[in-house]
Amino acid sequence: MLITIASGKGGTGKTTIAVNLALSLKEKLPVVLLDCDVEEPNAHLFLQPTFGQSQRVMTTIPEIDEDKCNGCGKCSKFCAFNAIAVVNHKPLTFPELCHSCGGCALVCPTRAITEVQREIGLVETGVGCGIDTTKGELAIGSPLAPMVVEAVRETAPKDHTEKAVIIDASPGTSCAVVAAAENTDFCLLVTEPTPFGLNDLTLAVELAQKLGLPHGVVINRAGLGDRKVYDYCHQTGIPILMEIPFQTQYAACYARGGRLVEEFPDLKARFLQLWDLIRAHAKENHERGQLG
């Protein structure tokens, strides 16, 4: 199975769930963890992998030969992302805004535009705690997180029938989260029982629904806030697949980079049960889709 672990907001414990689910499953089947939170990857802090492979993530940006440019402005008019401007018949490029479509070079009547390579991130692959781990890291100043996320996902095994591929997505509902979650078998949404948790959970649910993904909820820090998250899930029919109670020893374990299922072995069985519930809901949704 290929699943995404997401959240409407940061700090809900998304990476905690991803890492400890992977650790719980590794004795049952091969596990691959893809850290697609490319703006702030941190799964490696817990798994401590040794990265043996790395690849730069490259994109193309326009380079303009001003000797050939006639200042017509067709490139600027074509670009939907305002990566090129023409001021007083002089072209200006803004590489950070470019989405590498290549259209500007195609519409240039004087062939003054060529495409050159630009590095936007790094993907590293290794093994930590018996788990194949891939981390993506966005280059400082680059806004093109989805492209780095896609590069991380490309490292996943093509056939994941007998494997658990776990994607740790970015918090929120941005384009990077869409890139991480689309075309996966299940989207696990991690939240907390607080007003902020509820507000952002509704956004994450809307995202999963628009992507057509079966989804369920893990409530972290259960007992800390109120019951509104529970009421929302009950009213909308979203299954609550697991609760992790708010306990200071869990927080202390996380803060020092510890692994919950190793320090608190009783949690391992609950994570294995979570995996079984995910598989059951994903299978049910697949069968419903075939019938409908």
**Domain ranges, ordered by start, for the chain:** 2-48+129-291, 60-119
Report the pLDDT averaged over residues 261-279.
96
Mean pLDDT across the chain: 94
- For residue 80, pLDDT beyond 60: yes
Q: Is residue 290 over pLDDT 70?
A: no
Residue 292, pLDDT score: 54
User: What are the angstrom distances between the C-alpha of 283 and each of 4, 23, 205?
Assistant: 16, 23, 19
Select 60-119's CATH number: 3.40.630.10, 3.30.70.20, 3.30.70.2190, 3.20.20.370. Answer: 3.30.70.20
> What per-residue confidence (pLDDT) applies to 42?
95
Average pLDDT over residues 143-165: 92
Residue 283: per-residue pLDDT = 85
Q: pLDDT for 29-46, tens place per residue? A: 999 999 999 999 999 999
CATH architecture of 2-48+129-291: 3-Layer(aba) Sandwich (3.40)
Q: Are 9 and 172 in contact (CB under 8 A)?
A: yes
Among the residue ranges 115-129, 230-244, 276-290, the one predicted with the least confidence is: 276-290
What is the CB neighbour count within 10 angstroms for residue 112? 21
Tokens describing residue 185: 């078998």
Mean pLDDT for the stretch of residues 261-265: 95
- Closest residue by Cα to residue 156 from 147, 166, 148: 166
What secondary structure, in 3-state letters, does 70-81 show? Answer: CCCCHHHHHCCC
